[in-house]
Amino acid sequence: MKLTELILFSLVDYLEYLIILSGLFGISLLKRIDLKLASAVGILVVISGFMSHLLGQDKAFIINSILILLLIYIVFRVAFIKCIYSYVLSTAILLVIQMLSFVLLEFIIGGMSLSNDSGVHVHIPTIIIVLTIRRFLPLKKLMSEKLLRNKAFGFILIDTFLVLMGCLVFLLTRSETFIVNALYIVVIVLMVVLINIILFTNGLRNEKDREQIKLYERYLPVIEDLMNDIRSKQHEYDNHIQSINSILNTEYDGSGDYDKIKKYVEDVRVDKSIANLGKMDNSILAGLIYTKKKTFEKSGIEFRVEIFDYLFKTRFKDYEMVEMIGILLDNALEASQKGNQVILKIYSEGVTKVVEVLNEHEYISAKTIDNMFMMGYTTKEESGHGYGLDNLNQLIKRNDGKYVVSNQSLYGSNFFSIKLMFD
């Protein structure tokens, strides 16, 4: 091919990469690309086309892979490990699409090769499929922290990537043989991909079961502590009732005895939230709230629990609900100072289940609220923050839930509220 043709094909390849990568990172290309970045991408495209022309497409493959990694870093500014991960993932997706397009076109119009015309024919359905995938499939889920840390998914992804790379090398070095056997090769590749998907899906199910077991193992001792605390409070309440009965059964002397009774009633109400936790149908959730209550008390932060729906059944697994509420309460703890209030509400609005956490905080601007659920966004100076709310966002969307974030005025102070809603 001529140099101009190779540069043009490199431009289309980079565009396809950028579309897939923008889906993986959940970022709009129009908002991300400016004149400076567009110029940098243009330079990479020219270098890629020139190297393919100078060395040949097969020999320039490694250099072009490095250029794609550089593209990911320049445009999306992510850590090195995420550059590698997203490159492998996007390359695997694109190779599957391009191979399918190549084989379909060979059977529809025939005469496919590594020529300019065949390249144009392959890129037309490829770009259409890529745009469709970007628009309708939740690619961002593939970039979740859980998948990044999942060794099984990593092995399966690398396995699929290597198989596809082998097919690409075969196509570049022995194109005629590949085209003759294209259908068989693609069927084998798709079988490998399908088997890997089945293995990973089963692995995820097993992992979810393990997560649930770990959750029960973790919170069973906590639930026992909660029940002991409730028994202790019940004994305390019994003593209060006996004292009130004693006052009522003795000679009544007016306002003095009324004040004594009033004081006892107020004392009984102080720790009513602990007893309410014992009424919850979901004991794991009760254990989590009890643990967090102790943490808030140690930090000198007033923590109130208002439960209006003791059954509170949702489509979420216990470990997902624990993770979501845990993220909300941990963020409220980090954002609160000693003496502040944090309120957890669990209730229903018709068929909609609601979890709301309010923490006493200065007014938060609409711009900050818009950004806080983005991956990596944080107002803290130290690294390692900014992923909790993004994980929460993904969990909610995965189960067709939604959230509302707002500032509310309560008890003469501003409270920052995050309300989760799901059927």
Mean pLDDT in order along the chain per 10 residues (423 residues): 83 93 87 85 91 81 90 90 91 88 79 68 88 88 76 82 82 73 78 79 68 66 67 64 69 60 62 70 82 87 89 82 86 88 91 91 85 59 51 76 88 90 82
Q: Which of 293, 295, 316 is nearest to 211 (CA)?
A: 316
Q: Which residues contact 38 (CB under 8 A, 6 or more apart)?
A: none
The answer to whether 359 and 332 are in contact (CB under 8 A) is yes
Instruction: Give the rounded distance of the alpha carbon of 361 from its chain centre.
Output: 25
Strand partners, 415: 360, 408
Quote the tokens at residue 166.
């082998």
The answer to whether 146 and 210 are in contact (CB under 8 A) is no
What pLDDT score does 255 carry?
56
Which amino acid, 246? Answer: S
What pLDDT score does 237 carry?
64
The ranges of the chain annotated as CATH 3.30.565.10 are 271-422
Report how many helices (DSSP H) and strands (DSSP E) the chain contains, helices first.
16, 5
What pLDDT score does 227 carry?
67
Strand partners, 346: 307, 355
Rounded CA gap, 207 and 202, in Å? 9
Q: In what order do the strands lie in the sheet with 341-349?
A: 302-307, 341-349, 352-360, 413-422, 402-410
Torsion of CA 319, 322, 325, 329, to 10 degrees: -130
Q: How many CA atoms lie within 13 A of 303 on its CB side?
A: 22
pTM of the model: 0.58
DSSP state letter for 200: H
What pLDDT score does 260 carry?
66
What pLDDT score does 36 carry?
87
Backbone phi, psi, residue 71, to 5°: -60, -45
Rounded CA gap, 205 and 119, in Å? 41
Q: Which of 69, 67, 66, 77 is nearest to 32 (CA)?
A: 77
Reading phi first (left if > 0) and then psi (alpha if -120 to 50, else beta), residue 374 is in beta
What pLDDT score does 108 carry?
78
Instruction: Assign 413 to helix, strand or coil.
Output: strand
What pLDDT score does 385 carry?
41
Rounded CA gap, 44 and 63, in Å? 11
Could you count the other beta carbons within 10 Å of the beta carbon of residue 392? 21
What pLDDT score does 229 carry?
66
Rounded CA gap, 193 and 165, in Å? 13
What pLDDT score does 383 carry?
38
Q: Which residues of 71-85 are buried (b: 16+ CB within 10 A; e: fewer)?
A: bbeebbebeeebbeb
Class of domain 271-422: alpha beta
